[in-house]
Chains A and B, each alone.
Chain A
Amino acid sequence: MGLTNQSTGSNAIDKKLNLNYTYTDNKIIALAGNPNVGKSTVFNNLTGLNQHTGNWPGKTVTNATGKCIHKNKEFILVDIPGTYSLMANSVEEEVARDFICFGNPDATIVIVDATCLERNLNLVLQTLEITNNVVVCVNLMDEAKRKGIIIDTKKLSSILGIPVIGTSATKGKGLEELMDSVYNLTFTKIVQTPLNIQYNYILEKAITLIQNILIPTLPQTINTRWVSLKLLENEKTLLNSIYKYIGFNINEKPEISQIITDAREILISNNIDDKLLRDEIVSTLVTKAENISKNVVSFSIEKYNSTDRKIDSILTSKKFGIPLMILLLGIIFWITLTGANIPSEFLSKVLFWVQAKLTDFFLWLGTPIWVEGILVQGMYRTLAWVISVMLPPMAIFFPLFTLLEDLGYLPRVAFNLDNFFKKSSACGKQALTMCMGFGCNAAGIIGCRIIDSPRERLIAIITNNFVPCNGRFPTLIAIITMFFAGMFAGPFQSVISTIILTSVILLGIFMTLIISRILSMTILKGVPSSFTLELPPYRKPQIGKIIIRSILDRTLFVLGRAVIVAAPAGIIIWFMANINIEGISLLTHCATFLNPFAHLIGLDGYILMAFILGFPANEIVIPIIIMSYTATGSILNLDSLAELHNLLITNGWTWCTAVCVMLFSLMHWPCSTTCLTINKETQSLKWTFISFLVPTITGITICFLFTTTVRLLGLA
């Protein structure tokens, strides 16, 4: 789901706006644009960095940076969040605005959608108010051509007074020219005099009044006209940003405050209040964009979007909208389940064959037994498990999911489900953040920035964990394959597994809605706030690229996690399993302590212990369980799921245990990275703690109810 090593896991946190590059010859280029205009495609093509694009609004949740060499010069490209405006209506808009204004980029490329130029021009005009060093990149020219939309980029360039380059980034067309004009702008010291947006006479008078006092006080890099306009609008976030980036507190300068008050007086005496002022500003920009668009855009086909409307009339229809959605999810799961078996088995055969050889090698070396224990039984085996079980399903699931995403289907999911979220007093965009959660809950939580209302954003953050991430999804698949698929023979086996997996995911979605609702009625009281959701045009995905990119990406991600987390965890667990106190291992001591409680919720002490030790990463939960069981002296050669199944059965697992492990895996505390991310995003220990507790309590309650019912009915 568009998650990369840059945007997930521990990399998801700690992205700062400021760039500290030591080379002075580097040019910093900001990449701005509306959501969903192919901004990340341009970025990827220019930098070669593996950052993924999404066909839904608000993809870039952190500032990604990459290097691009053009004409032997180095350009640092900064992919800022996709926004419709720079008016700081949301966190993302504030980040985008602050980077353009205070990040001191040498140039800003505004990427616009050729198929929807008019709306996109709004952002261009707003950017031009902040900086003169702008290059416009009219992307998706090929798509516009297909739809019969013709854009006169030369004319647009002469109207705007800045370079305008037409591109088709997916094909790499026009990007050379784009970088040529960026090069010219940044290295040849051209002074651009772009179009100046004129407001009405009264506004201009007020702006000039403030601007005159700001010119001697603010650094030259800051556009004083624009700051004046914002001060007139009483834009508080800008005051904070000015203080944050330039260390200049306007509130402490009585002479400036006085002038601002005077200027606002001019407006008030002309009956222009805050609301009217903003309407006036936006209307001026929108009208300007409309006029420019009329001048440069022509259509050769009348109904250029009719295919999209036809697809929508099926995918979002009353009858088929939701069933089709579940069916699509089911198909993806089915392909994942059936497809993952073969590589999974192959990988585990190979990796466990290597393990046997490694053991032989250590025996041959004559090292003490504990050396082999730590390195092979502990570290290597955990690694091998994580790789063989986690990698194949993820390498299949992600390209498929990315395909849906690139097609533009995910916003339709949000559209279909919005009413359910509304009933839970939550935001429809929560569905999009849940989709991101499939890849990594930490990324999902950062993705919650696309939700404007702080209350609804908190709800989305707290409930994000009900979507099983990368680390938990394969755990579910493994358990389903071991315990439930085997109950049915023949071709239906995979269908049954798919139905079970789909049900688990639907349960997660159901719990998200219920808990959102409960939160809305209790600690996060409130009514659903307003939001707008864009349904972008359907796009032809680049299938080959998606497959290669996401498989590589997933492989790197899983391998990275395996090395960073699973390997050290394997060593720790080996120690816990092998350090004996009074003849019983440390692990068993802990497990015995946890056992009574774990029993109540259908687990055992070892399983609960595994979940606790799995706090750094959910991937290692099952390896810990296996190691706990094998350390207590049973079979050792676990090169297939069937043998693993036997191991679990001998350790007292029943189908009820399996269900409870799945339920608990779906609903328990978020992993450590996710917790850190929540803390960073909410800036509050309280909400982090609540985000930890809510899924945990839910999971415990549900497992308890399930186990008790099963036991009372005598089913297991």
Chain B
Amino acid sequence: MAHLELNQQTIIECRRLAAQIVLKIKPVIDLHTTVGIERAALRLIGVSGALHKEGLRYPFSNSIVDQLREDRVLSKGALFWFVNALTQTGLSVSELSQKTSTGELRLSQLEKTPVAELKKYAYDLCKESLKKLAMRREERWALRKTQGDPFDLSFSSRPLVYVIVATGNIYDDVIQAQAAVEAGADAIAVIRSTAQSLLDYVPEGATTEGFGGTYATQENFKIMRDALDKEGKKAGRYIRLTNYSSGLCMAEIAALAAMERLDFLLNDAMYGILFRDINMKRTLIDQNFSRMIIAYSDIIIHTGEDNYLTTADAIENGHQVLASQFINERFALEAHMKEEQMGLGHAAEMNPWHNNVFLLEIARAQMTRDIFQKSPIKFMPPTRHKVGDIFFSHVMDAMFNLVGVLTNQGIQLLGMPTEAMHTPLLQDRFVSIKSAHYIFNAAKDLGKEISFKKDGMITMWASKVLEDTLQLLRKIEHSGLFKAIEDRCFANVSRKLDGGKGLDGVVQKDKEYLNPFFELL
């Protein structure tokens, strides 16, 4: 494979700076929990179901955490109180969930089991719960063996063919996904309904009405997982399923995804802060626990750096993407994730009329490949400069696909000719997948046949982006990540430490805080 000659000392220094940046945030992460993390812990031990409340189905996990907040005792952790109640009442998890949610029981008012006994009970319960997650993980490995796996973690074959469905109705999504698999897709993302990231609860049940996408619910996960398993069996290859572990329910969705054997999760340490105006502390605390679950479940994350290029200029902001990738990598390592699980994101979003833009895209894609050698890089298609000329759009996607196969990207989200018009129609996906397979096959070994000139335009551009990244990371390390975000270091967006949504859901941990998952995951 062709590689760029990049300054290895610079890369090492970038990683060192990223580690320093993350280290400074660690106390905030370690000393706090959030309502989202507490709900995720409850879900992991088997709390599921919802109450009908004001016309919607409000999850038990929310009702329980709400009660503990009202009683001002959440700082000890939801499991402290819930497990205490289990030992005191002898009720099952589901009975206790029900009784607490209706208000029949107040967890904080029960007798207290001696701490040592409580801890032992809690640890055993959590260990038992994790066995279920491990089973799902192993089931996935087995299925990949029997069905065949198109994903090549040595990145010497073609990128994974990845498409989205976004009808708003889970049953229509299934039809679209089945058709996409038949056309040659390897991975399906069910796009989430607009603004679900700002809901502080996970909706329940199968849903048929979403805007710009379909609600992420445990039941919808299950429906699509079953459908893709069946399609995979027919197609002779394991089909991966993607959803979003982001927004205010980042950790909870990670738990649900682990239970329903999702393969990919959009999960970024800073995306919620920058693009959804979720509070910095909330997001950084949540992402850590979500990634611990992800690490354990062998799920691959997709980070959201592609978004920096859609909101700010793609030619000028390459260094922001790379700096963020280094930071995302470090946060993920802190949560015990392996590099192989990090689908670091970037995108081909440069102005198509810029001189030699194809060379610049190759430079950035190859640079990303060469710096994060074990990571399955997630490459996102052009969107920003698309306007509705579907024929030209199709050509842009073809160029993007050529960059992807040439530089051995791991996961290629295919562009759609009708980008900027509507969510993809069945035929949009069909023509995209067909042309991607043509290009991936036609240029399969191109990367092995070429080399990059040491002083050529491609190497020089990548080196410049890397140097700019080093400067940016120095600046961030100097000011600290919080201040850097305030100073618009990423995507030209400024956020304040105490601004944004969800800060009231951040809770300082008490000395007696109990959540065995932090040690077991």
Q: Do A and B come from one complex?
A: no
A contacts, CB < 8 Å to B: none
B contacts, CB < 8 Å to A: none
